[in-house]
Structures are given as C-alpha cells and as structure tokens.
Amino acid sequence: MSAHISDIREPLINGHKSYHDITEDLVSPTERAPGFGWTVGFILSLTMLAFGLFCIAWTVWHGIGTWNLNRTIGWGWDITNFVWWIGIGHAGTLISAILLLFRQKWRTGVNRAAEAMTIFAVICAALFPGIHVGRAWVVFYFFPYPNTRGPLWPNFNSPLLWDLFAISTYFTVSLLFWYTGLVPDFATVRDRAKGLRRKIYNFLSFGWTGSAKHWQRWESLSLILAGIATPLVLSVHTIVSFDFATSVIPGWHTTIFPPYFVAGAIFSGFAMVLTLMIVTRKLLGLEDYITIAHVESMNKVIVVTGTIVGVAYLTELFIAWYSGYVYEQFAFFNRAVGPYWWSYFGMMFCNVISPQIFWSRKMRRNIAVTFFVSIVINIGMWFERFVIIATTLARDYVPSSWSYYSPTWVEMGIFIGTMGLFMTLYLLFTRVAPVVAIAEVKSILKTAGDQYTGPNKLHHGHGHDDHHSVPAGHGHDSHRGDHLKVVSSNVAAASMAETHEADSSVATTKNDLTKIEGIGPKVAGLLNDANIYSFNQLADTPVSRLSEILAAAGPRYKMQVPESWPEQAGLARDGKWDELEDLQDRLDGGKYV
C-alpha cells in the first residue's frame, strides 16, 4: 500500500498478526462452547428480562395506574429510561458513520460491537413509548395509514410523531448498516464451518463470494450509508430534545436542548461502549484488536463531550438567571436545591467532574479507571434525564399540585427488564457474530499493525521504508511475521557485536529512546540505524554526532535540536527518573530554554 504512515501513530493491531491470525482470533469465540462467565451472565440477563416482561404484562393488564405517575407528573421513569437508552444508542452510529467519514482507523476495532449495542439500545428505548401510552395494543394508531376512522391522521406538527419517524428510521438504517458490514464476516465464519453450522452461516452470509465488484459496491454502499447516517444520528436526539423543547414547561423550552442532547447522547453512548468493550476484550481475549489506543481515543471523546455537556448545564443556569423569567429561575433553583437535589448533584458530579480525570494521559490509558468512570457516566446520564423530566414536572405552575415522585416496583422492574434484554441480546451477539469486523481489521493491518507502524515496528533494511511486501512467492502469510522477526533479531545481534567492540565494559541493552524529550519513534529509529540503542550509548554520543545523524536523514529532521539528549540519556541511564522529569519540565521540545 502506498499510503503514507506516520510513525507517531500508535499501532491498532498488536501481536504481529497475519491475516490468518486475525481470522482465527476473531472467529474462534463463536466456535468455542460458551464459557462459565458467559453462561452466568446469560442466565442473569434472562432472569432480569423475565422479570421485566412480567412487569410489562402487569402494566398492560392493570394499566398505567401501577406506575406512580399522577396529574402533573405524566412522565417518570418511563421516559427517563427511553431517553437514556436512545442516548446510549448514539455511539454506534457515531463510531461507524462519522469516524468512517473522518477515516479514523480505530473505528474498525469497535464499530461492530458499538453498532450492535446501538440496535439493542434502540430496541430497549422503543419499548417505553410503546407501553407508556397505556393501551399498548392500539399503539399502531401512531402510524399514518389509511384507516376506517375518517381516515384520521396523526398530527404531523407534533414532535412526538417526529420522534416515531426518527427512531423507526434510525433503527432500520442502523440495522441495515450493521448487517451489510456483517455479511462478509459471516462468509468467513461459513467457510470455516461444517454441517448445519455451515448451512446457517451460508444463509446469513447471503452467498457472499468476495468478488472484486462486490467489494467495490460494498465500500460504496458503506460510505453512502455513513454519509446519510451522520445527519440521521444528529437528527434523532435533536428530535428527542424537541419532545421537551417545544413544550411550554419551564426548564424544558430552551433552544440549547438539541446540541446539548446530542452531546449528551454521544457522551453516554461512548461510556456504554467502553463499559462493554472493556469486558468483551477481556472475556474474548481481544486485547490485540481493542487496544489501549482504542480506549484512549474513546476517552478523548468522553472528555470532550462531557465538557460540552458541562458547559450546557452552566449555560442553562446562566440563561435562567439572565432571562429574568421567574418560572425558569425557579425551575433551575428547584433542580439544584429542591427535593431532588441529590439527582442534580449526581448528574453534575458524574457527568461534568468525573470525566475531567481523562485530561491525564495516564488515566486515559488505565483500564480500571476507564471502566469505573464509564459506569459512573452511565449513572450520571441517567440522572440527567431524571433531573430534566421528573424533578421539573414535580414542581409545576400550581403549588397545590406539587408532589414527590418515586417509582413503583413495576417501573423499576421494567427498567431492570430492559437491561436484561440489552444484555441478553449482546451476549447472544458475541456467540453468533465476530465481535470485531474481520474484513475491516484486515484492511488496516498494513497501515496499523504493530509490525508495520509505531514503536514496535520491526526493522528490516531501512527503518523508514513503507513498502513491506513479501517477495513474490515467498510462502504462506503466517511466515511473514517470523521472517521480520528474524531480520530484526539479526539487526540487534549485529549491533550488540559492534557496541561490544566499542565499549566492552557495558552490556548493551535496547532502551526506549523515546523517553528522551525530543525523540519520537522516527528519530529513535534513526538513532538505532546509527547503532545507538541504549541510554548509555546516547549519553556518550557527542551532540555534534547527533546533529550529523539528523542532517544525514534529510531536511525533515533539521528542526530537531539534540543538545539536551546526552544529558537526559545520562540521567535515564543512572535511573534518576525524578531528575529527568524535572529537567524535561524545564526543556522545550528537548531544547534548553
């Protein structure tokens, strides 16, 4: 491939994978018998789902009176949960569509699971509007179809109807997008399977052959679906926010709602993707495909969207005060210090404060911290919806109808049921389909595999060629990794021998030279080419020699000033890491200030 690959980019596929290794690693989870963890999780999910179904049946049988809604509080946990689930459903399409348009390669590791999550979350969400209308058996009245009641049509001015169209469209498009991506991977599973399993996957893979023309159309289709799904995903939560913003309820009819809801949706969606991916990569052993680099990228999205949400919260407060409109002022005062202060505090803490930890690179790359914060954010986003919906309605215009809302066991049971439904579907998905998009990961191997890029790149010949093809007829693919490994160890051995001659007193080790401020992976490669592998060697190299090495490598490196490198390397060699850190704080890109 002739694409330019930056050496600064971290690899997205680790473990020197060949194409066959990728197939093996990603298909085998669907071929093994389910493990203990999966079985326990599945039984738990099914139990929760069964309880949820019971509660839904209870609601339909006895009516909405089994919920704690009343005359002013018309929306409670039902719509809170609806908005929460829809928000979670936003990350999948964001990852698969927007990141495809932006050519972000890290999407390939997580898009499949995130899209699956979207579909399941939308199913959970769509349940609530369906049952909260009370007479769920006539819910089809929502749809505009020629009927015998006039025909009586729905009100096309109503955001609630727009919502119906938005969510139906979103679900359909996400499903089509997801399944079209799955077809080639189902073919991969099919071609490894035998007997009945082969028949099933042949059906699922639609007879996919891998023909060049099919791939061309497949890519064209993916790109256009991504192009139209991008405004779609933004429209869905915008329309959900219209459900509130077009009303005349203080605290709801604010023009900031659409962007604020969209940012919040992406925020909560990414949090849920992280929660699921961290568990999935561990249970299915996919650490080489869903890497720390993926987690870090998602955490960056979390910190950005979390901060946008925070700005939106503060803007709301400011505008409530600045508008001089007493009802609006009261609504926000009531949210913050009224009887539901705990949910407002929870929202602020979980959504605005907790993600700020991800300004630190160390925290962004810490799996345990990420997992914990992702759950905190999921809870926080639930609080946000609860604050907007229930606390606002509990204190309306007429103080005589004020009340305090808390859910009944039926409402809680339905929420638990949707979580059970979500987990049941997700667990089934991990059994049936490859959790990571196989074909897409293969297509980025040469530009994002760790044997081709990043600090672990194996050297063969010159460090900075980007043409890594195996000579024609070299042999099976899986040998390629080995071939490169041999070359690299030869280089290491040769350098060992040479340094041994130069300085027999010190055994040479290969240190990570990028620890030195001013040295990136590319420059480290140059130094390695010049037989400088360790901190010790670098410390003993005169600055003039370093300048020569850089000058010889071409004009791209003339900005590099190596004056502090030997001093830094000396500290690193002696293990004086604290002093090195102090020094680096004073340096500016490796230069003395």
For residues 235-254, which are near other proteins according to CB under 8 A? 235, 239, 242
Task: Report d(CA 157, CA 159) in Å as an integer.
Answer: 7
- If one asks whether residue 214 binds other proteins (CB under 8 A), the answer comes out as yes
CB of 543 to other proteins, least distance (A): 41
CA–CA gap between residue 255 and residue 541 (Å, rounded): 63
d(CA 303, CA 359): 7
Nearest to 265 by CA among 231, 210, 290, 302: 302
Per-residue x/- mask for other proteins, residues 473 to 492, rule CB under 8 A? xxxxx--x------------
For position 169 contacting other proteins by CB under 8 A, the verdict is yes
Please list the alpha-helical segments (H only) found in 36-158: 36-62, 77-88, 90-93, 99-101, 107-132
Nearer to other proteins, 485 or 515 (CB): 485
Q: How many CB atoms are located within 10 Å of the residue 521 CB?
A: 20
Site membership for other proteins, residue 461 (CB under 8 A):
no
Question: 3-state DSSP call for residue 449?
Answer: strand
Give the number of C-alpha atoms closer than 13 A to the C-alpha of residue 465, restricted to the C-beta side.
7
CB of 217 vs other proteins, minimal distance in Å: 5
Which residue is it, tokens 């699956």? 116
What is the smallest separation between the CB atom of 25 and other proteins, expressed in angstroms? 12
Among the listed residues 75, 77, 106, 177, the single contact to other proteins using CB under 8 A: 177
Applying CB under 8 A, what is the total number of residues that bind other proteins? 73
Q: Is 448 in the site for other proteins (CB under 8 A)?
A: no
Q: Which of residues 300-319 bind other proteins (CB under 8 A)?
A: none
Q: State in angstroms the smallest separation of the CB of 453 from other proteins.
A: 16
Find the shortest distance in angstroms from Cβ 126 to other proteins.
15
217 near other proteins, judged by CB under 8 A: yes
Q: Which stretch binds other proteins (CB under 8 A): 77-85, 161-169, 353-361, 481-489?
A: 161-169
Residue 151: asked if its preceding bond is cis (omega within 30°), the reply is yes
Chain positions 92 to 151 lying near other proteins, rule: CB under 8 A, are 144, 150-151
Give the range of 86-94, 188-196, 257-265, 313-321 binding other proteins by CB under 8 A: 188-196
Rounded to whole angstroms, the maximal C-alpha distance in the chain is 98
Scan residues 57-96 and list those touching other proteins (CB under 8 A).
Answer: none
Q: Which stretch binds other proteins (CB under 8 A): 221-229, 271-279, 297-305, 367-375?
A: 221-229
Measured CA to CA, the distance from residue 237 to residue 166 in angstroms comes to 9
Q: Is 18 in the site for other proteins (CB under 8 A)?
A: yes
Q: Toward other proteins, which CB reaches closer, 192 or 282?
A: 192
CB neighbours of 65 closer than 8 A, spacing ≥ 6? none
What is the enclosing helix (H) or strand (E) of 11?
none
Position 512, amino acid: D
182 near other proteins, judged by CB under 8 A: no
Residue window 24-43: x/- pattern of binding to other proteins, with contact defined by CB under 8 A? --------------------
For the bound state, the minimum distance from the C-beta of residue 182 to other proteins, rounded and expressed in Å, comes to: 12
Q: Does 161 bind other proteins (CB under 8 A)?
A: yes
Nearest distance from C-beta of residue 267 to other proteins, angstroms: 23
Give burial (CB, 10 Å; 0-12/13-18/19+) of 84. Answer: buried
- Output 24 or 563, the one with its CB closest to other proteins: 24
**Contact present, 70 and 196 (Cβ < 8 Å):** no
Assess 453 for contact with other proteins (CB under 8 A). Answer: no
* CA 589/CA 593 separation, integer angstroms: 10
Contacts of 56 (CB under 8 A, 6+ apart): 127, 131, 414, 417
CB 407 within 8 A of CB 392: no
Distance from C-alpha of 482 to C-alpha of 508, rounded to nearest angstrom: 24
Residue 561's alpha-carbon distances to 186, 554, 565, in angstroms, are 52, 14, 9
Site mask for other proteins (CB under 8 A), range 350-389, x = bound: ----------------------------------------
Q: Is 442 in the site for other proteins (CB under 8 A)?
A: yes
Q: Tell me the closest approach of the beta carbon of residue 428 to other proteins, in angstroms.
A: 19
For residue 76, count CB atoms less than 10 angstroms from its CB and return exposed for 0-12, middle for 13-18, buried for 19 or more.
buried
User: Per CB under 8 A, does 17 bind other proteins?
Assistant: no
Cα–Cα dist 488/494, whole Å = 10
Q: With CA atoms as reference, report the closest residue to 478 among 157, 20, 7.
A: 20
- Judged by CB under 8 A, the stretch of 37-45, 181-189, 530-538, 579-587 that binds other proteins is 181-189
Which structure tokens are listed for 222? 């993916």
Q: Which is nearer to other proteins, 124 or 226 (CB)?
A: 226
Q: Which is nearer to other proteins, 39 or 209 (CB)?
A: 209
Contact status: 285 vs other proteins (CB under 8 A): no
Say if residues 272 and 244 touch (Cβ distance below 8 Å): no
Tell me whether residue 211 or residue 489 sits nearer to other proteins (CB atom): 211
